[in-house]
Amino acid sequence: MAIVSLKKLTKRYGSMEIVHGIDLDVADREFIALVGPSGCGKSTTLRMIAGLEDISGGTIEIGERIVNDLPPRSRNISMVFQSYALYPHMTVRENLGFSLKIAGAPKEEMDRRVAEASAILGLDALLERRPSQLSGGQRQRVAMGRAIVRDPDVFLFDEPLSNLDAKLRTQMRTEIKKLHAKVKSTVIYVTHDQVEAMTLADRIVIMRDGYIEQVGTPDEVFQRPATRFVAGFIGSPPMNLQEATVADGKVVFAGGQSLPLPIRFKAKVNVGDKVVFGLRPDDIYPAGHGLHSGDAADVHDVELPVTVTEPLGNETLVFAEFDRRDWVSRMLNPKPLKAGDRVAMHFDLSQAHLFSAETGKSLRA
Amino acid sequence: MDANASARLKRRAATIAHRVGLFLAMLFICLPGIWIVLSSLRPTVEILAKPPIWIPQQVSLDAYVAMFSGVGKGGIPVLDYFRNSLIISVTSTVLAIAIGMAGGYAFARYRFRGKSAMFLGLMLTRTVPGIALSLPLFFVYARLDIIDTHFGLILAYVALNVPFTIWLIDGFFRQVPKDLAEAAQIDGCTRWQAFWQVEFPLAGPGIASAGIFAFLTSWNEFALASQLTRSINSKTLPVGLLDYTAEFTIDWRGMCALAVVMIIPALILTFIVQKHLVGGLTSGAVKG
Question: Are residues A136 and A282 both part of a single domain?
Answer: no
The rounded distance, in Å, linking the Cα atoms of B172 and B203 is 5
Q: Do B182 and A85 touch (CB under 8 A)?
A: yes
Q: What is the pLDDT of residue B287?
A: 41
Rounded distance between C-alpha atoms, residue A165 and residue A172, angstroms: 10
Using a CB–CB cutoff of 8 Å, tell me whether B178 touches chain A.
no
- Per-residue H/E/C for A124-156: HHHCCCCHHHCCHHHHHHHHHHHHHHCCCCEEE
Q: pLDDT grade, residue B74 (50/70/90)?
A: low
- Has residue A364 been placed in a domain? no
Looking at the DSSP bridge assignments, the partners of residue A211 are A208
Contact across the interface for B185 and A72, Cβ inside 8 Å:
yes
- Torsion, Cα A310 A313 A314 A315, to 10 degrees, reads 10
Distance of CA B261 to CAs A277, B41, B87, B157, Å? 88, 13, 16, 22
A95 domain-assigned:
yes
In this structure, the number of other CB atoms found within 10 A of the CB of residue A110 comes to 20
pLDDT at B78: 86
The residue range of the domain holding A91 is 4-233
B278 touches chain A (CB under 8 A): no
A165 and A302 share one domain: no
Residues A310 and A166 in one domain: no
| Same domain assignment for residues A308 and A350 | yes
CA distance B130 to B139: 15
The answer to the question of residue A257 being in a domain is yes
Q: Mean pLDDT, to the nearest integer, of A104-130? A: 91
What CATH number is associated with residue A179?
Answer: 3.40.50.300
Q: What span, in angstroms and rounded, lies between the C-alpha atoms of B12 and B4?
A: 12
User: Which chain B residue has the Cα nearest residue A155?
Assistant: B186
| CATH code given to domain B78-277 | 1.10.3720.10
Residue A361 lies in a domain: no
Grade residue B282 by pLDDT with cuts at 50, 70 and 90: very low
The pLDDT value recorded for residue A365 is: 60
Instruction: From chain A, pick out residues whose CB is under 8 angstroms from the CB of B179.
Output: 81, 83, 85
pLDDT (tens digit, 9 = 90+) per residue, B94-125? 999 999 999 999 999 988 899 999 999 988 88
Nearest to A31, CA basis, from A211, A166, A161, A217: A217
Residue B144 has pLDDT above 60, yes or no: yes
Check: CB of residue A227 under 8 Å from CB of residue A360: yes
Domain ranges of chain B: 3-65, 78-277
Establish if A362 belongs to a structural domain. Answer: no
Pairing between β-strand A31-35 and β-strand A186-191 as defined by DSSP bridges: parallel
How far away is chain B from the Cα of A110, in angstroms, using its nearest Cα? 14
pLDDT score of B288 = 39
Residues A44, A193, single domain; the answer is yes
**Whole-angstrom distance, CA of residue B76 vs CA of residue B255:** 11
pLDDT of B281 reads 43
- A86 and B284 in contact by Cβ < 8 A? yes
* Number of domains making up chain A: 2
Contact A73 B180 (CB under 8 A): no
CATH number of the CATH domain containing A307: 2.40.50.140
Chain A hits for B194, Cβ within 8 Å: none
Q: Which residues of B touch A86 (CB under 8 A)?
A: 284-286
Q: What is the ipTM of this complex?
A: 0.85
- A116 and A251 in a single domain? The answer is no
Mean pLDDT computed over every residue of chain B: 87
Note the pLDDT of residue B65.
84
Q: Give the Å distances, CA to CA, from B141 to B39, B89, B148, B158, B234.
A: 37, 19, 9, 15, 14
DSSP letters spanning A281-345: GGGEEETTSS---S-GGGEEEEEEEEEEEEE-SSEEEEEEEETTEEEEEEEES-----TT-EEEE
- Of A233, A260, A281, at which residue does a domain stop? A233
Interface of A with B (CB under 8 A): 50-52, 71-73, 77-79, 81, 83-89, 98-99, 102-103, 130-134, 136, 139, 146, 150, 163
> Which residues on chain A are in Cβ contact (under 8 Å) with B282?
88
Check residue B277 and give its pLDDT. Answer: 64
HSE-up (13 A, CA, CB side) for residue A254: 9
Q: Which of B179, B184, B281 sits opposite A83 (nearest CB)?
A: B179
Q: Where are the alpha helices (DSSP H) in chain A?
A: 42-50, 92-103, 107-121, 136-149, 166-183, 194-200, 218-223, 228-233
